[in-house]
């Protein structure tokens, strides 16, 4: 099979992604010797360190979310695979500034296991860590352990702001957990992504069908529907998200409209328009909106919607300036 992607050897792909981030940062990010760990070169002394990381292939999550107000170190896994404990431990050593390290990870079995092992290894070396898992996929029952989707961005954005303001480790973990508890996401796919190393599609779908409830690795959704226009599809998704809390009139939310990889900005604006209208119908105020590719699945066509129910502190931290060192910098 011919793989139509601008890559070289699949065996060196993760390393080359990380090297690209380093070059794009112009000295603000470096790569740990021998391991796929990205590190800020000027972490503020005395702050709580933040380590994120998961499978590669979802860029800019997480490699593109490193910088002041975001992650201090990124543990890079192989394609759609969790980073190994030794990689997470190396990221911990790099991020620690003497005040402990906060692990922010998406809720997947491999990530859970490897971060737990890394935390034990870090404790043996004298590091103090806390872990917050983001799992907000409303297509799954809460008791089954919901998958993490693009909402991980909000967890990182708020926790990064809190650590930048000097929050201690326990306080930063509490704020991050509050964000994770108030997230809801749902995704829809029009066409599949592919595995970068093999070119194989992540799932099959008919030309006139869409998948609702996709996972970020290309897992099939919970429902296969006929293709719908933007407004009724957005209504379905917003109603599912709002009903899961449930949201009440007067509630305030931040909205993330995430491109799954091959959806045009034109389409995202159309969806954003309808999401705002539908939330207004419910009496819910949107305090901030984020649009674009935040957590992708290669060239999958589709989008996800994330709502974060906010409070005054979360809103203040969301608004705090932050800088991606290698992705969409102003």
The catalytic residue positions are 58, 217
Query: How would you classify the pairing of strands 129-134 and 301-309?
Result: unpaired
Query: How would you classify the pairing of strands 37-40 and 29-31?
Result: antiparallel
285-292 sheet: strands from edge to edge: 223-226, 209-212, 183-191, 301-309, 252-259, 285-292
Distance of alpha carbon 255 from alpha carbon 75, whole angstroms: 27
Cα 225 versus chain centre, distance: 26
Q: Are the beta carbons of 237 and 213 closer than 8 angstroms?
A: no
- Report the first-to-last Cα separation within the chain, whole angstroms: 39
Give the helix/strand (H/E) hosting 133: strand 129-134
Exposure string over 53-67, b if 16+ CB within 10 A, otherwise e:
bbbbbbbbbbbbbbb
Distance of alpha carbon 302 from alpha carbon 280, whole angstroms: 24
Distance of alpha carbon 22 from alpha carbon 9, whole angstroms: 19
Q: Are the beta carbons of 147 and 120 closer than 8 angstroms?
A: no
Cα 124 versus chain centre, distance: 29
Q: In the numeric block, which tokens belong to residue 212?
A: 């609702």
């Amino acid at each position: 099979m011919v793989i139509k992607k601008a890559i070289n050897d699949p065996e060196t792909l993760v390393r080359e992604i990380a090297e690209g981030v380093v070059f794009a940062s112009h000295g603000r990010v470096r790569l740990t010797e021998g391991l796929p760990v990205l590190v800020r070169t000027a972490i503020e002394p005395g702050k709580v360190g933040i380590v994120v990381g998961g499978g590669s292939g979802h860029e800019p999550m997480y490699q593109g979310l490193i910088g002041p107000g975001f992650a201090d170190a990124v543990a890079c896994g192989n394609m759609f695979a969790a980073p190994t404990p030794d990689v997470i431990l190396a990221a911990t050593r790099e991020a620690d500034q003497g005040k402990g390290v906060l692990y922010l990870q998406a809720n997947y079995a491999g990530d859970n296991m490897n971060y737990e092992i890394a935390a034990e290894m870090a404790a043996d070396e004298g590091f103090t860590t806390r872990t917050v898992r983001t799992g907000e996929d409303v297509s799954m029952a809460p008791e089954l352990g919901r998958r993490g989707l693009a909402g991980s961005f909000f967890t990182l954005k708020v926790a990064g702001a809190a650590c930048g303001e000097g929050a201690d480790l326990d306080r930063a973990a509490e704020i991050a957990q509050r964000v994770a508890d108030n997230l809801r996401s749902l995704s829809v796919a029009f066409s599949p992504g592919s595995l970068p190393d093999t070119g194989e599609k992540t799932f099959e779908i008919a030309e006139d069908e869409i998948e609702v409830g996709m996972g970020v690795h290309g897992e099939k959704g919970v429902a296969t529907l006929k293709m719908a226009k933007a407004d009724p599809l957005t209504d379905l998704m917003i109603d599912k998200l709002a009903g899961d809390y449930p949201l009440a009139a007067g509630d305030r939310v931040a909205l993330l409209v995430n491109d799954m990889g091959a959806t045009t900005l034109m389409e995202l604006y159309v969806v954003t328009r309808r999401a705002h209208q539908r939330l207004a119908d419910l009496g819910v105020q949107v305090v901030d909106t984020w649009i674009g590719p935040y957590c992708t699945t290669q060239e999958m066509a589709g989008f996800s919607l994330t709502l974060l129910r906010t409070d005054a502190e979360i809103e203040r931290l969301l608004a705090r300036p932050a800088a991606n060192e290698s992705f969409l910098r102003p």
